[in-house]
Amino acid sequence: MRRRLVTTYLLLACLVLLALEVPLGLVMSGRTTQALLADRLADATRFAALVAPAMRGGELEPVRAELTRYHDLYGIVVIVVDQNRRVVTHAGARPGLDTDPVVRGALAGRQVSSPTNVWPWQRSSLLVAVPVYEGGEVLGGVLTISSTERARGSMLFAWSVLGVVGLVALVGSLVAAVRLARWVLRPVLSLDTAVHEITAGDSTARVPHALGPPELRRLTTSFNEMADTVSDALERQRLFVAHASHQLRNPLTVLRLRVEGLGDMLPLAARAEHHLALEESDRLSRVLDSLLALARAEWDGRPPITVDAAELVAARVEAWRPLADQRGVALTAEVPTEPVPAEAADTALDQALDALIDNGLKFAGAGGQVTVSVEVVAGRAVVTVRDDGPGMTADQCRLATRRFWRAPNTQNVDGAGLGLSIATVLVEASGGTLTLTPREPRGLVARVRLRLHRAEITGGARV
């Protein structure tokens, strides 16, 4: 929008400059031509006055000397013709120009010039012819042929000055247009910034009320009211999920204990159903724990902290190694020797790694392999978890971070379907991204990208 505003302002400035400079340039050209014509007409008229008695008396020698001095001084060709258009005297070589129209006009008693206007791109000579009168009778005509080079140069210089002035005015207009567009769009930019901050998870972001014209201030007020309403609704939703999950945990624990206590009193034929009931209660308990963890992750509005992704990955791999050994999965870590400082919410990367490694171990199965690596790519700390399990399609990877979504071929796998959702919330709350992609020839690649920390710490070292 800023570009459009600047373009509009510049277009208006260009139109104003053209409306001013084009007529001014034409006026300057006309004045230069008129001054040149007036000078040549005055000279030709003076020569006509000198030539008239000489032509009547046949004594042209003094006049010829005058014309020669004039030609030697100014380089202008002067030709005197009689009524029959015969040259009676001249000064300077006659160029190969068609002078008949102007000569005929002069013999008809008129002052004639050609061309009527001089332009910088026209190199033709200026022809000026005046009649020679004697006693009211036209005896002949005086024709001057002069170069327009000086007039054209003067005109071109004037136009160049106009162009430079216009260019300076255009540059000034560009600077003013940029500043004006920035001033006009400042309220809109504030609104855009607030929208991005809210989208990034900062529900407290609002737009200052005092910015912009009345229409934008009303829009700002409406936007802030909408943001308050949406924020309150999300907060109530989160509170409901957290409270419901928390309140259901105790009754569920009591129910499980009572069902477990009934096991000894049931006949052997009912033991299998009793075992399934206990498994269902355990699964429901895990779902409630996941919901509570998800609500807490969405609540966490604390700013990110700096963590060493390499050290953290090594620690989480060591923590999960006993379970991996128990399941027969080769769990390895590929971390650089140098620290990889990344910005993340407190414990966010830990929990996200736990969810991703748990999924990797779960789907890789006995004999499988799970690799967790850390690297710096394009100014980002990238943590990647690769497994060689059955993997997912590209469409399934896109849907896998939705809450309670399960792949069709993993409906019987243990889990609440919230692990990837929680990991996504935690990573996005840290300002990062979590992506899932299929791995060739089989398996899944989960990649977490976080911002690198660039700030100096006390002592001048970098983390």
Ramachandran region, residue 85 (left: φ > 0; alpha: ψ -120 to 50; beta: rest): left
The closest alpha carbon to 143, from 191, 78, 201, 83, belongs to: 78
User: What does the alpha-carbon distance between residue 294 and residue 421 come to, in Å, rounded to a whole number?
Assistant: 8
Band the pLDDT of 61: cuts 50, 70, 90.
confident
* pLDDT tens sequence across 188-202: 888 888 888 877 667
Beta-bridge partner residues of 377: 380
Q: Give just the sign of the alpha carbon dihedral 269, 270, 271, 276.
A: positive
Domains annotated for the chain, with CATH where assigned, are: 1-155 (3.30.450.20), 213-299 (1.10.287), 304-451 (3.30.565.10)
Residue linked to tokens 């736990």: 354
User: Among 51-60, 406-415, 423-432, where is mean pLDDT lowest?
Assistant: 406-415
User: What does the alpha-carbon distance between residue 246 and residue 251 come to, in Å, rounded to a whole number?
Assistant: 10
* pLDDT tens sequence across 241-278: 777 777 777 788 888 888 888 877 878 788 888 888 88
Q: What is the pLDDT of residue 416?
A: 59
Q: Which of 36-50, 82-96, 277-291, 422-436 has the highest mean pLDDT?
A: 36-50
Tokens (6 digits) for 328: 């027969």
**pLDDT of 335 above 50:** yes
Q: What is the pLDDT of residue 458?
A: 41
Which residue did the predictor score with more confidence, 382 or 138? 382
Q: What is the pLDDT of residue 302?
A: 64
* pLDDT tens sequence across 202-247: 777 788 776 677 887 888 888 888 888 888 887 787 777 777 777 7
Fill in the DSSP letter of residue 201: T
Output b/e per residue, 341-371; b: 16+ Cβ within 10 A: bbbbbeebbbbbbbbbbbbbbbbbeeebbbb
Residue linked to tokens 């849907």: 399
Tokens (6 digits) for 274: 């009793």
**pLDDT of 373 above 90:** yes
**pLDDT of 383 above 90:** yes
**pLDDT of 455 above 60:** no
pTM of the entire structure? 0.48
Longest dimension (CA), the chain: 159
Tokens (6 digits) for 181: 């567009």
